[in-house]
Amino acid sequence: METIYLDGQSLTFEQVQAVAYGEPNAPRVEISDEAKRLVTRAADAVQTLLSRGTIAYGITTGFGAFKDRIIPPDQVELLQRNILVSHAVGVGNPFDIPTTRAIMLIRANTLSRGHSGIRLSTLQLLVDMLNAGVHSVIPEKGSLGASGDLAPLAHMALPIIGEGKVNYQGEVISGAEAFKRAGLNPIKLAAKEGLALTNGTTIMTAVGVLQTLRAERFSQTADIAGCLSLEALNGTDLAFDERIHNLRPYPRQIECAGYLRSLLKGSEFTREHESLNVQDAYTLRCIPQVHGAVRDAIAYARWVFEIELNAVTDNPLIFIDDKDEITVLSGGNFHGEPLAIAMDYLAFSVAELGNISERRIMRLTDECSNTHALPAFLTKEGGLNSGFMILQYTAAALATENKVFAHPASVDTIPTSANVEDHVSMGATAAIKLRGVLDNVERILAIELMSAAQGVDFRKQVIGAEKKLGEGTRRAYAVIREHIPFIESDTVMYEYMETMRQLVEEGKVLP
């Protein structure tokens, strides 16, 4: 993936991921020739409207509640500068570099569609910043997710006019200084450009795309963790029989059950039918039903964000017909409701991966719950050693915090701009909460994988070290043991937990 050409219509999840995480060898980003033509045509249309004296929101009027204030022609450029400096009121920690790069890429892509009225030279400068590694410092909080992500996007755009802060080569410096070092030149904005840069769903979309990718990875990781726990607990895979799931034909439940069977294929750690032990606890038996339902939420989120990646979400929008007639339409594509609902749905769904994982950790550490298949708290000399006792506490704390994060942001609203913007999506809040849920689930799954591997080693002492795990779990177990030893006696655990978290984050336990 050497070069990505933006046209506002074909940007993919995989391209966003490559640009976001690929430094210093990220793909170069360019604007397609057709996009250049359409962008130039729309910018020329804005100038035509100005020359005609046409009244158009955000071009010759103020913003929000000032929509009825007419701006004189000689102040149109100042209006666009003012929107950036007045709207750059974000607070909190800045977004990390991968998220910032995704934000800049997605904003450039939507502007490449040619309905926003930005000049090609201004759009090119945003792309040049991305290619040069000049990353705007964008505070995470301040967007209501309704009239677009106004505050954070204003911070993104400030360096274009020589203002704001950027992260350049690992150092936070002024936008003006970074431009000088990178060989770039700030510009004065033309009509409509400040609004085009700040009005849209880009923050929500960037976070949503990156977190949906994480959710996809963690969903597969959770399947592996669940299967490894099942083997450690002498469970049975009979509940994953395809005949069961074909009678309740949710596609992703069926898909999940099939994947679990493939992970456990050839396992000598699972039990066959026993007349006195015919079925496992729900956390093992119902993995396809629970994990499959989470897969549905992830698939929905991907569907939403695949649309949003190539949507035009600022306002007003400029349309030019075959006869070169210009129409300016005010609408509400900046409203983040579809994204907010998708991220809330995804957040409480992924939280369920953490909930069921934590319950499996409990079962691994509680010898009564695991019918004495494993020693109490996965340690040899219980009492002298606490073993994995407190790891389950941590998992429980994280699962509980996720229940707070799972409260939907999209059902809340606070009217703004003198009640002109009287319903907001809170989509940016939903995005930050979603990321928090995934951070916690990442750690819970890490704890389960550590615990399951410890349990497997105890099972080996009973059934024989030569016994084989399933084809999928075998590889995951090997990766764990490459980095984390069997815990013989109490030791400092948090370092192993962090190592395991990194393995989950990087997808190292996946096939």
Using alpha carbons, select from 322, 329, 332, 331 the residue that is nearest to residue 49. Answer: 329
pLDDT in tens, 287-322: 999 999 999 999 999 999 999 999 999 999 999 999
Token couple for 121? 């030279």
How far from 204 is each of 144, 208, 251, 286, 309, CA to CA, in Å? Answer: 10, 6, 28, 33, 10
Quick check: helix, strand or coil at residue 418? Answer: coil
Q: What is the pLDDT of residue 418?
A: 82
3-state class of 416 per DSSP? strand
pLDDT confidence of residue 373: 87
Cβ 191 vs Cβ 42: under 8 Å: no
What is the predicted pLDDT for the residue at 138?
98
pLDDT at 63: 64
Burial class (CB in 10 A: 0-12, 13-18, 19+), 372: exposed
Q: What is the pLDDT of residue 381?
A: 92
d(CA 129, CA 6): 15
Instruction: Report, as ranges of residue numbers, the positions in the chain whose pLDDT lies below 70.
Output: 1, 63-65, 275
Active site residues: 57
Domains belonging to the chain, first-starting first, are 3-200 (1.10.275.10), 208-505 (1.20.200.10)
CB 296 within 8 A of CB 249: no
